[in-house]
Structure 1
Amino acid sequence: MAPGLISRWRRGPHLKTLLLLTLVAATMIGAVLLVWKTIDAERSQRAQAGQTNAVLLALHDLSRTAVNAETGQRGYFITLDRRYLSPYIVAREQYRPTIARLRELMGGDISPRKRELLSEIEHLSVAKFAEMDETVAEIRGGGLLEARRRILTDEGQDVMERLRRAIGELETLELASFNTSRDEATASEARILPILAILLVFIVFALGLGLMQVIRTADAEARAEHAAELALARDQADLLARELNHRVKNLFAVVLAIVKMTGRDQPEAKPVVDRIAERIHALLMAHEVTQGRSAKRSARLSDLVEVTLKPYRSPENGCRINGPELELPERAVVPFGLALHELATNAVKYGAWAQPGGELTVDWQVSDGRLRLDWRESHPPRPVDPAATTKRGFGSTLVEGSARQLGGRIERDMLPGGIVVRIEIPLGE
């Protein structure tokens, strides 16, 4: 307690404070008594729930026993195979103990209607099993016609329907008793809430509004200071990410400029310089996909394919892209971007887009945590160079190296009408 509050306690009168404490104590005692009553009501409700559940299970067992016995009786009548009597014999031995258990569970303190239904269930069960015993005895004695006549009458069916109705009504009454007990427990819980609310108000008032205000003020200041620090850290991180992204792009531009300047005075090196520049540009495109506005550490595969093929697509160069939305992990973006760029370059130089009439199809699917991308090029039939199927240039090595880097594999199938390249990689770590 603060020194100011202590001095006020010593100087001021204590009567109001004592009255407040007395009222708080009386409220707490009343709340404890009400809680005790609520606990007792809940305990009674739990006991009623247990009894209801046991009674419903016993009624279900009795109903199932009658159905099983009737099924065994019918099976024995149809097939004359004694093995079909097994469920009938078991049910005949079980139904009396089940009725006895039901009476024990319900006890003697039950409503007149429940007692009447219980007696009716017992009487109907005895009648049903007596009817089935007579039928089974006639079948065993060779009186199939008499047994058939008895089975085809409505006697057994009428008893069974009455037994079902009696069991259903008893189940309904037992559930009603459970609902009544539950409602009483709920009402007792509802009565305790206002008392607890009043007690809480007095306790909070006794602690002192001044102390509570000080705590709230200190907590608000701490939250505001923490929120400001978080906002400042987030702004600094965003600024650093934008600066790093800008520097990386500048580095790509400088590297491209150096490569082009190096081959400016050497015409014979221009093809090599162009291929190097194209691959560096592919890295730049992959970097831009991964460092977009969302600043996520991944990229969508569809974006990567679109960015790679965009410089080469035209009305003459047919292209179809199909596949589900898929976020590539960061480790897969750059190798996949290089492989796609190499495949697109080969399509322009030697494949589907080298001559009019060609078409490129890129589709992918995910199964069992693995990505499978199919790159299909189709064009008018042309002779297949046997040496081309075995020749391994730097581009092929680059594509295969990208697949191996991701723990996957690559397959090629060269045909007179095109080529199919299949890349399969795992998506996990």
Structure 2
Amino acid sequence: MHRLAWYTPGQDEQELRESLILALLDSGETVMLQDCSSNYIFIANLPDLWQVPAGCEPTDENLFGSELALRLSDLKQGLNVSGASGMLEVNAGEDRIFQFAAYTTVTRGEQLVIKTTIREVTAERRREQLLRSLLREVSHRSKNLMAIIQSLASQTARFTLSKDEFLRKFRGRLHALSQAQDLITDSDWRGASVFDLLRQQSNLYLPEYPHLVRMHGDNVLLNPNGAVYVGLAFHELVVNTISHGGNLASHLPVTLHCTRSQTDGEDRLEILWEEPLSNRPIEPKSEGHKHNAHFGSVVLEKVVPAALAGEAVYEIHTHHIRYRLTFPI
């Protein structure tokens, strides 16, 4: 028989046993010993859900109740030789989970005993459940992103005339998606705030003009889906500022207003982008030739509001640009 512990010869074995029992009690590990007739010999650190009965010998039934006692009986039924083992998990009250592990061993007196340990695994199972949920969420969002990327690729190709132009525009939009995704990931998948999304784009494309874009109002935390599409809208607006803004050093400040409100009991957010163009007037779009042939405006007027179940108006006037996006949050 293998020795289960080592100690210096000549030590007082009774004192060692007492030290071992004290260490066991301090560890919090539940240990129970039963003989081959299922009579209890020893119980230590029983979880607070169960109590050793007063005035009578403990049994599986008066310790754990009839239902769990039946499961434990089935578990121990085959433990009739040394080295046999078995395990089961129990969903106890208050959403707690315990793992019962039983195995047989032989004492020095050649007595067959069943040792059962009880360990609470609630936190481990919750972590496993959370991990499974996160993996499902990652899978779901990956499919959504792939669909968005596929749409961006096809629509960008549709509205560009050369490969170089396509690559430049598509890479910019793809980078906007990845940046929004970085914010979402950093927030443990809760989403991203409106101002952070705009700050990302302005820091990337307007690093030399940090005060060109001013943000006011309610800095709302958007859910992951909202963050992706609002980030894409900001990308188009900032890139447009560069393309038609002329001398950015003398460009008047662009203002973003965010207003949270309630309409018919529904929380809504209005995002208003106002960009003056006094240093470089441009021709406003006419009814006969709306600039919808430009995919940037398609993103702003159709793709983004449709994805958010909202509405958008994109107006280009002689001396200013205004983009208004409203959607439920």
What is the TM-score when the length of structure 2 is the normalising length? 0.52
Q: Helix, strand or coil for the counterpart of 2:250?
A: coil
CA distance in 2, matches of 1:268, 1:4: 82
1:351: which partner in 2? Answer: 245
1:409 pairs with 294, 311, 324, which one? Answer: 311
- 2:175 aligned with 1:281: yes
Q: Helix, strand or coil for the counterpart of 2:326?
A: strand
Q: Helix, strand or coil for the counterpart of 1:205?
A: coil
2:290 pairs with 375, 378, 391, which one? Answer: 391
Q: Helix, strand or coil for the counterpart of 2:256?
A: strand
TM-aligned CA deviation for residue 349 of structure 1: 0.6
Report if aligned partners of 2:214, 2:256 keep a CA contact under 8 Å in 1: yes
CA distance in 1, matches of 2:274, 2:246: 9
Give the % identical residues. Answer: 20
Give the AA of the match of 1:372.
E
CA distance in 2, matches of 1:361, 1:313: 14
TM-aligned CA deviation for residue 272 of structure 1: 2.7
Give the AA of the match of 1:304.
L
CA distance in 2, matches of 1:329, 1:353: 36
Give the AA of the match of 1:309.
S
Give the AA of the match of 2:202.
L
2:270: which partner in 1? Answer: 372
1:206 pairs with 40, 55, 62, which one? Answer: 55
Report if aligned partners of 2:259, 2:271 keep a CA contact under 8 Å in 1: yes
- 2:320 aligned with 1:418: yes
Gaps of 5+ in 1: 6-202
1:292 pairs with 165, 186, 191, which one? Answer: 186
Q: Deviations over 1:17-36 (max 9, x none)?
A: xxxxxxxxxxxxxxxxxxxx
Q: 1:418 to 1:387 in 2, by over 3 A?
A: closer
Give the AA of the match of 1:283.
L
Q: Which one has the bigger strand percentage?
A: 2
Report if aligned partners of 1:286, 1:304 keep a CA contact under 8 Å in 2: yes
Report if aligned partners of 2:301, 2:314 keep a CA contact under 8 Å in 1: no
Q: Helix, strand or coil for the counterpart of 1:316?
A: coil
Give the AA of the match of 1:205.
A
2:77: which partner in 1? Answer: none
TM-aligned CA deviation for residue 375 of structure 1: 0.5
1:64: which partner in 2? Answer: none
Q: 1:248 to 1:420 in 2, by over 3 A?
A: closer
TM-aligned CA deviation for residue 293 of structure 1: 5.0
**Alignment RMSD:** 4.5
CA distance in 1, matches of 2:192, 2:54: 57
Q: Which one has the bigger helix percentage?
A: 1
Give the greater-gyration-radius structure (CA): 1
CA distance in 2, matches of 1:204, 1:408: 64
1:306: which partner in 2? Answer: 199
1:327: which partner in 2? Answer: 221
1:316 pairs with 209, 228, 247, which one? Answer: 209
Report if aligned partners of 2:269, 2:326 keep a CA contact under 8 Å in 1: yes
CA distance in 2, matches of 1:416, 1:208: 93
CA distance in 2, matches of 1:408, 1:240: 27
Q: Helix, strand or coil for the counterpart of 1:206?
A: coil
1:126: which partner in 2? Answer: none
Gaps of 5+ in 2: 1-34, 40-51, 66-71, 73-89, 93-97, 101-118
CA distance in 1, matches of 2:178, 2:227: 11
CA distance in 1, matches of 2:215, 2:297: 22
TM-aligned CA deviation for residue 309 of structure 1: 2.1
Q: Deviations over 1:293-329 (max 9, x none)?
A: 5133x33222222222221233436121123232223
Give the AA of the match of 1:356.
S
Q: 1:243 to 1:372 in 2, by over 3 A?
A: closer
Superposition pairs for residues 120-131 of structure 1, below 5 Å?
Answer: none
Give the AA of the match of 2:126.
L
Report if aligned partners of 1:378, 1:418 keep a CA contact under 8 Å in 2: yes
Give the AA of the match of 1:371.
L
TM-aligned CA deviation for residue 285 of structure 1: 1.7
Q: 1:424 to 1:353 in 2, by over 3 A?
A: farther
Give the AA of the match of 1:295.
W
Report if aligned partners of 1:322, 1:363 keep a CA contact under 8 Å in 2: yes
TM-aligned CA deviation for residue 274 of structure 1: 0.7
Q: 1:410 to 1:214 in 2, by over 3 A?
A: same
CA distance in 2, matches of 1:291, 1:382: 39
TM-aligned CA deviation for residue 398 of structure 1: 1.6
TM-aligned CA deviation for residue 395 of structure 1: 1.2
CA distance in 2, matches of 1:407, 1:246: 21
Superposition pairs for residues 38-117 of structure 1, below 5 Å?
Answer: none
Q: Deviations over 1:362-401 (max 9, x none)?
A: 1201111111001011243544414578531221112111
